[in-house]
Chains A and B, each alone.
Chain A
Amino acid sequence: MIVFDKVCFSYGVRQIIKDLSFSINSDERVAILGGSGEGKTTILKLIMGLIKPDSGKIIIDGEDITGKTEDELREVRMKFSLVFQEGALFDSLNVKENVAFCLREYTKMTEDEIDRKVRELLRTVGVEHAMEFMPEELSGGMHRRVSIARSLAACEPMMFLYDEPTSGLDPVNADNICKLILELSKDGKGFIIVTHKVVDALRVASRFIFLKDGELVFDGDSEKLLHSDIPDIQVFISELNYAGVKNV
């Protein structure tokens, strides 16, 4: 359970998040929508405790994380699996070592076991052939998928956080990622997907949160989203009219 209670956050003098309050259960499939630079990534960073709010509380499973130290936060972070917007693979390590990173860090697996596990994870995301590649040799979509595989190796998360997993990908790859996201949450695990592609959000999520100028302007299901009369949302979903899929 993630609860934001009147959270404010600013970079320098620029306020990015204003008095934001919401709560998300760990089995919910939530999409956070909003334009570029509205603070979507910032919200994910706040959940992970990577940045601290100026005021307000962020409560995760009943614990306020805003006052926790880096050491104490480790436990909280283990509950989530975050995939960054850019993928953020370690560029000095090849794909295999990237995926194996947490296995080496936290388990005492032998080389064989690691190899098998990494193969398995890469197969799940469909890039097994790229095992020996360096990150700079990967395409955007592969990068994203390896990054998902790496975070799967990290822990058994309670919830997945994806930062724009499909942006900049061709429709086929985007579709694959959506399938992967649904696949991973099959056993009732929730996720938060941050995106500005409504099509993808509608495919995977069941609850939608819309941000505008750092404030929550919409929170509801797909039905409500499609019939919302908020102008910004209408602009967002007009994309669907062109595609002719308004009646999904």
Chain B
Amino acid sequence: MKDTAKSDVRIGVFVCDCGSNIAGYLEMKELVEYSKTLPNVVFVQENLYTCSEGGINEIKQAIPKHNLNRVVVASCTPRTHEPLFMSACEEAGLNPYLFEMANIRDQCSWVHMRERETGTERAKAQIGMAVAKAARLRELKRIQLNLSHNAVIIGGGVSGMSAAMALGNMGYEVDLVEKEGKLGGLLNDLNMILPSNEPPERLLNDLVARLETNPKVNIHLNSIVSKTEGYVGNYVATISKNGEELKVKCGIIIVALGARVLTPEGLYGYNGKDVITHLELESLLRKGPIQSKNIVMIQCVGSRCAERAYCSRICCMTAVKNALLIKEADPTARITVLYRDMQMYGVELEEMFRKAKQVGVRFVTFDPEKAPVVKDGSVSVYHLRMGKEVSIPCELVVLSTPLIAQEDAPEVSTMLKVPINENGFFLEGHVKLKPLDFATDGVYLCGNARYPSTIREAIGQGLGAASRAAGVLSKDALFTSGIVADINAQTCCGCLGCVAVCPYGAINFFPERGVCQVNKVLCKGCGGCAATCPSSSARLDGFSNEQIYAQIEKALAG
């Protein structure tokens, strides 16, 4: 390793006026003069706008002219401008990681608008710190990696099938892995689907036929993914089918495991005969019209309660659907839905709700504190609007039970190193902004594995996950960032502290050697491991202890 802060370090400092944004509030001349006094600084220039074409050219010219081997820009925020300045260095033949920025706008002129003197002092300190760090910067490299352009999709329900179709159509090789003997997941068990108002076979057969004829899509039935190795761009997935194993290379993996319906053992007298779930009702309806005239449906059975706090999103619509279908077959049927809130959101579902009320389905709210009681031949409930207990005679009680996570979810979560939430649903990278991504690059999610969804939503999410995946698959090569962590295998004690703290699953533990190693492709340079490691074996390139300490020392020295 080269010695640091050596005398051959030649730093150029560019101080930006940002129009009047900085120059209006700080003493620019003072900043320039101060910069000249700093160790290793051989060139200082003030720019009106360093980021303008003119400013960038000044950097590019100064590097060869003054033989600069480090560049510091004191200006606005690295969030928007660092990449620009780094590429200016690169274009002038300097390694882009030999660049450092001091944010004297957001952190000085903007916050000290009325304190010219203190603002200027603070800007000096920040430039000093940046220069101290710059002197200790080392060349870093972005590693280029080849990648596989194939995809593996786990789960062949409507969401996984939609993802497979989209990727296949885009020209990527897809392995679609389904645990059961046929594709379709939940769709196989439904009677009719609303709002499209068609039997599920229509959608299912159409999708299956097109997948089967798509030359890019390989369907693996009765199969699971039993093992995965590697990382984004370079996974090897083991597909197991009846004890036989097939290893496939792939660039990305999509999680489309779906969810299953809760069986409400012990709730409301559930017996699978005259107290049943909606899924059971759907299989009854598939066989033909049902005999019962008086039907009570109870919502939120096993959901929105202490064990399962969430709302399962689709059970209200399922109840309304089945009420409508029964009423359609037999307008004299009397159906009462006991509910807490009818989750008939949006355009189509609210329309179904309205229709159901119009054809005479009764909707009665109940308070979970005074939950309905199923008796022999009737259901009694405290009627909030009437303010008294009422008894509703019925021959059939249908319970709306939530979708719950698949039994395999925890295993798949461990295998892919992606998280699940307290209910066992897979946890996306960001609830609002990255709904179909995981924090770990190269793994995506869709459909009920993420959260209960309608078919419209499951199809949309399948396509969306395919699109996110195509963002990786369409690249010719992957580049790592230069700012990545590294673990010194000589000193690592294998305590796994870093593994626990890494949010991106970028650290692997090798038990045979008893050490951890960073996967530089997955590492996002957050520095968590370096800060945690008790033996100082983990370091973050570009933010080494030495560099940070130099900055701190400079700051304290004033």
Q: Do A and B come from one complex?
A: no
Chain A residues within CB distance 8 Å of chain B: none
Chain B residues within CB distance 8 Å of chain A: none
